[in-house]
Structure 1
Amino acid sequence: MEAAADLRDTALLTLKFTFNPRLGIDNPVLSLAEDQDQSDPWNLHRPRFCLLSKEEGKTFGFHLQQRLGQADHVVCRVDPGTSAQRQGLREGDRILAVNNNIVAHEDHAVVVRYIRASGPRVLLTVLAQNVNDVASVLQESDAFLCPTLASGVRPRLCHVVKDEGGFGFSVTHGGRGPFWLVLSAGGAAEKAGVPPGARLLEVNGVSVEKLTSNQLNRKLWQSGDQVTLLVAGPEVEEQCHQLGMPLAAPLAEGWALPAKPRCLNIEKGPEGFGFLLREEKGLDGRLGQFLWDVDPGLPADKAGMKAGDRLVAVAGESVDGLGHEETVSRIRAQGSRISLIVVDPEADRFFSMVRLSPLLFSESTEIAAPPLAETKGLPVEDTVEPSGLAGSRQCFLYPGPGGGYGFRLCCVASGPCLLISQVTPGGSAARAGLQMGDTVLEVNGYPVGGDSDLDRLQQLTEAEPPLCLKLGARNPQGLESWIPLESGEDWTLASELL
């Protein structure tokens, strides 16, 4: 299934051109992903586009790491047999852009949010490690290295509803794709935002680039009275051609969509927020977090929450792939004012069909890290609570989507002391307030500082979450003589699995 999705998406990666032996190749800048020699890293002499797809419950198959002291976001591992490997993502690649957003100098947590908010498909612009090193020496700007589409010049996702004149378009004749649309003046397609002379890329989330005319006509007929088209106008097609950029679905703007995500800003009242969150399977079999028991007259109801809504983001951050406890933790961490992005069952089915995240079409979505909220008096997971020992504090952490807690430990050579040596931005540890230099006093109620710490830590971290840490005062001086604990690799989080 995942390989089939990759094949559909690869068809859109670049515009194909015909080799004329008399004229030669008309645009040597263009290169199909499948035509590149992936075994020769020096052949990857420019930014590449990797269009990744994932099936429900799976990942794209790569690990993202930010190098300490640098703004680079580097692929540190590519899992075999995954979409990332099939689409040519390589260890050492630096990510320059996610979809149409340049992210080279963004915070690590922001880059992770962009990728997760993209849903089942994402377009990455990457630079090979050797090329990145040369570009750094030459001080070439990311705007020069990483082309993006101009504002308003992007593919369109248009939902067309039949009227008395039908869909209002015809398809150029030909035995096989690509196809272009001829519009009827004032017809349904024109009203839905389809531009004149548009190239047809997808029908209801399925690529038509390699379909025959008969297959395309059958698919349009099976759509009934309404159909969702991914199209690119002539100016979009030309700009992508010049930039060597793919006509990819995650770049699309929404036009006349039948449903959109809703942003709910809810302030807690004397009787609470007035809703219940449950993890269950939806109508299409997808596991997610659903909102139920919306009490009439309470804040959630007044904000527009409906029973059966599916939660897709908390404070602008996607909750796709998160477990129930982690989702609850993120809601509680906002305090008495929460911001949720939800979709009703109709919108959920629509975005599932087109294989795109509703967050790509949410005008209210803020990808940047939300401001810290007041959490006084709330039983918040992934947060800090006072401890009975003077100068110490307790932290409760749940593992993130990659299975780790988002921190690394080190041992001070001058004495029996464990310190926090690294905290992954945006991870569970960072949200709980852990900082580099914090001294670890207890783990799940067991004191540390003896010879058997490593064995005990390994046993404790394999236990059921949450992970409870008791931390002492920071000791930055101790980091000058620290020794890394290699045995912690299995349970700390040095990179994000995406």
Structure 2
Amino acid sequence: MEAAADLRDTASLTLKFEFNPQLGIDNPALSLAEDHSSSDLWSLEQRPRFCLLSKEEGKSFGFHLQQELGRASHVCNVEPGTSAQQQGLQEGDRILGVNNHVVEHEDSQVVARHIRASGPRVLLTVLAQHVYDAARAQQGKAVLLCPTFSQGVRPRLCHIVKDEGGFGFSVTHEHLGSFWLVLSTGGAAERAGVPPGARLLEVNGVSVDKFTHYQLSRKLWQSGDQVTLLVAGPEVEEQCRLLGMPLAAPLAEGWALPSKPRCLHLEKGPQGFGFLLREEKGFDGRPGQFLWEVDPGLPAERAGMQAGDRLVAVAGESVEGLGHEETVSRILAQGSRVSLTVVDPEADRFFSMVRLSPLLFLESTEAPASPQDTCSASPVETKDPPIEDTALPPAPCGSRQCFLYPGPGSGYGFRLRLSHVASGPCLFISQVTRGGSAAQAGLQRGDVVLEVNGYSVDGENDLEKLQQLAEAEPPLCLKLVTRSGL
């Protein structure tokens, strides 16, 4: 009875109002409390969530996967106090995407492979279980629920080498942690792929979202002659805003990176593969699987293996964190043909610094403008090439020949891109690494490729052939002509 009296007293205190058609509703409570229909609430609920997870060395993200036949993998057993729980991952959530990969129709093994390959940071796109089930019932099983970036629109990880003009950018800011780059025309930053009007997100793997302008300036000064920036152009910022997606480092594509992982394809010979795998601690004290005793002339050396390389993947699947015996068993399971992904000590240090897995940067280090774009070799620093006589015929008038030798990272230091001009499709040099083999041989940005190792290319149907030729025994002979000469 006393509780009922309290309720009546409270009700009597509620302000009353009258609706005047000429004045409209004058009750502020009604003005602020909008009446959402059930369909409006559904449209708000069904938007996927984005969980950016990170983990420390030797630890996990803090969740497990489970698969149901014909459905996206779902999260189970989220561990308390882990990154998964802190970032809002919930049991039953369906995983739609891992970084830039749509996985909602993949089995749990594929999803787990993408997560392991992401290294210490991963961006998961998830949907609550009841929303996922309702969407599938309403829209059908084949529909894709995972939002994706437009082609070529992703954050960029750009490595900038200081020249006589410095890094080639200045910084503007509005408030704590919000910085934008103003580029110098033709400067080092522009050449390294930093887009105009880019927002600065990280410096050498460290987020700037809580930096003051002074702290950022000091961080850049401490970088010395080289710095690696995570940036997002205006179109990337806009897409992330529309999708509600964070500007996450695991989404990035690499531009002018100093090092990259190398994929080695070995076929066992009569004397075996010709290398020894040992488990030992790396430069940072982490245990890993390292390649040693690379025998001269055997398949491992011919594939480009170097003593001291660290093994990061077998047949494209990460072996990070695996013990020696399990790693060896995975190699043996491949039979007489083995595909190994490795990083040299320089690349190992670089990717550890930026806190990203090298496996995220296997396919390219420049954003493709179309699915037909390709990269022929990684832009890495190379040694002076040896002088060697050749028996190739002289180049026709107006063209020139260049002979290239790979550097320590098995790259030639240039990028190819497919373009269409008035005379038809052509392949041209889109990027030349400063100081690399291509630069030393005289390649210039904009040069058009006519022949590779004596094979004529027309730009339309020879991308696969070019990739195979780039992996052939050196030297790599290019016949080039400047674009103006076409």
- TM-score norm. by structure 1 comes to 0.63
Q: How does 1:8-87 map to 2 (within 5 A)?
A: 45-67=46-68, 69-87=69-87
Q: Is the contact between residue 277 and residue 291 of structure 2 (CA under 8 Å) also seen in structure 1?
A: yes
- 1-side partners of 2:199 and 2:174: how far apart? 13
Q: Distance in 2 between matches of 1:364 and 1:233?
A: 19
Say if 2:329 is the partner of 1:317: no
How far apart, CA to CA, are the structure 2 residues paired with 1:345 and 1:214? 33
Q: For residues 364 and 151 of structure 1, what CA distance do their matches in structure 2 show?
A: 14
CA pair 293-180 structure 1, distance change in 2 beyond 3 A: same
1:378-423 deviations in whole A, cap 9, x for unaligned?
xxxxxxxxxxxxxxxxxxxxxxxxxxxxxxxxxxxxxxxxxxxxxx
What aligned pairs does 1:107-118 form with structure 2 within 5 A after superposition? Answer: 107-118=107-118
Using the alignment, how far apart are the partners of 1:163 and 1:355 within structure 2? 26
CA gap of 1:139–1:175, structure 2 versus 1, over 3 A, is: closer
SS in 2 for 1:160: strand
SS in structure 2 at match of 1:123: strand
- What SS is found at the alignment partner of 1:312? strand
Structure 2 CA distance for aligned equivalents of residues 332 and 245 of structure 1: 41
Matched to 1:64, the amino acid is L
Aligned counterparts of 2:307 and 2:254: Cα–Cα separation in 1 = 26
Measure how far apart 1:284 and its partner are: 1.4
Matched residue type, 2:77: R
Contact 2:276 2:294 (C-alpha < 8 Å) held by counterparts: yes
1:329 aligns to what SS in structure 2? helix
> For the Cα contact (< 8 Å) 1:263–1:364, is it kept in 2?
no
Question: 1:142 offset after TM fit, Å?
Answer: 7.3
Mapped contact 1:49–1:124 kept (Cα < 8 A): yes
Aligned-partner Cα distance in 2 for 1:66–1:250: 24
For each residue in 1:270-308, what CA deviation from the matched residue of structure 2 results, as whole angstroms up to 9, or x when unmatched? 111111111111011121111011111111011110010
Higher relative contact order (CA 8 A, sep 6+): 1
1:151 to partner: Cα distance: 1.4
**Offset, 1:42:** 12
Where does 1:22-421 land on structure 2 (aligned, <5 Å)?
Answer: 45-67=46-68, 69-139=69-139, 145-363=145-363
Distance in 2 (CA, whole Å) between partners of 1:224 and 1:96 is 41
Q: Give the match's secondary structure for 1:186.
A: coil
Give the 3-state SS of the residue equivalent to 2:51 in structure 1.
Answer: strand
**Separation (CA, whole Å) in 2 of partners of 1:163 and 1:186:** 11
Give 1:145 shift: 2.8
2:136/2:143 contact within 8 Å kept: no
What amino acid sits opposite 2:59 in the alignment?
Answer: K
Q: Is the 8 A contact 2:104 2:146 kept in 1?
A: no
Tell me if the contact between 1:312 and 1:318 (Cα under 8 Å) persists in the aligned partners. Answer: yes
Q: Distance in 1 between matches of 2:141 and 2:220?
A: 45
- In 2, the alpha carbon distance for the partners of 1:156 and 1:63 equals 30
Whole-angstrom distance in 2 between the partners of 1:313 and 1:305: 14
Q: Which amino acid aligns with 1:195?
A: P
1:104·1:142 contact (CA, 8 Å) conserved in 2?
A: no
- The Cα of 1:331 is off from its aligned counterpart by 0.2
3-state secondary structure, aligned to 2:149: coil
Q: Percent identity?
A: 79
Greater C-alpha radius of gyration: 2
CA distance in 2, matches of 1:141, 1:229: 40
Q: In the TM superposition, what is the alpha-carbon distance from 1:109 to its structure 2 partner? A: 1.5
Could you say what secondary structure the match of 1:330 adopts?
A: helix
The code of the aligned residue for 1:263 comes to C
Moved over 6 A (4+): none
- The verdict on how the C-alpha distance between 1:125 and 1:141 changes in structure 2, with shifts beyond 3 A counting, is farther
Contact 1:262 1:362 in 2 (8 A): yes
Q: Distance in 1 between matches of 2:81 and 2:43?
A: 24
Q: Aligned partners of 2:91, 2:45: CA distance in 1, in Å?
A: 13
- How far apart are 1:43 and its partner, in Å? 8.4
**Distance in structure 1 (CA, Å) of the matches to 2:92 and 2:52:** 18
Structure-2 change in CA distance of 1:196 and 1:143 (3 Å)? farther
Q: Aligned pair in 2 of structure 1 residues 42, 196: CA closer, same or farther (>3 Å)?
A: closer
- Structure 2 gap ranges (5+): 1-31, 33-41, 366-486
SS of residue paired to 1:96: strand
Matched with 2:433 is: none
Cα distance in 1 between the residues matched to 2:63 and 2:116: 13
User: Could you tell me which residue of structure 1 aligns to residue 16 of structure 2?
Assistant: none
Q: Which residue of 2 aligns with 1:5?
A: none
Task: Render the CA deviation track for 1:421-459: whole Å, top value 9, x for unaligned.
Answer: xxxxxxxxxxxxxxxxxxxxxxxxxxxxxxxxxxxxxxx
C-alpha separation between the residues in 1 aligned to 2:315 and 2:280? 22
Q: What residue identity is the alignment partner of 2:274?
A: G
Which one-letter code corresponds to 1:317 in the other structure?
E
Q: How far, CA to CA, are the matches of 2:335 and 2:261 in structure 1?
A: 23
DSSP 3-state at the match of 2:235: helix
Checking the alignment, whether the CA contact within 8 Å between 1:174 and 1:213 is kept in structure 2 is: no
Provide the C-alpha distance between the structure 1 equivalents of 2:263 and 2:72, rounded to a whole number of angstroms.
Answer: 32
Task: Report the RMSD for the aligned CA atoms in angstroms.
Answer: 2.1
SS of 2:77's partner is strand
Aligned equivalent of 2:408: none
Aligned residue for 1:64, secondary structure, equals strand
TM-score, normalization by structure 2: 0.65
Q: Flag structure 1 segments of 5+ consecutive residues without an equivalent.
A: 1-23, 25-40, 366-498
Q: Equivalent residue of 2:151, what SS? A: coil
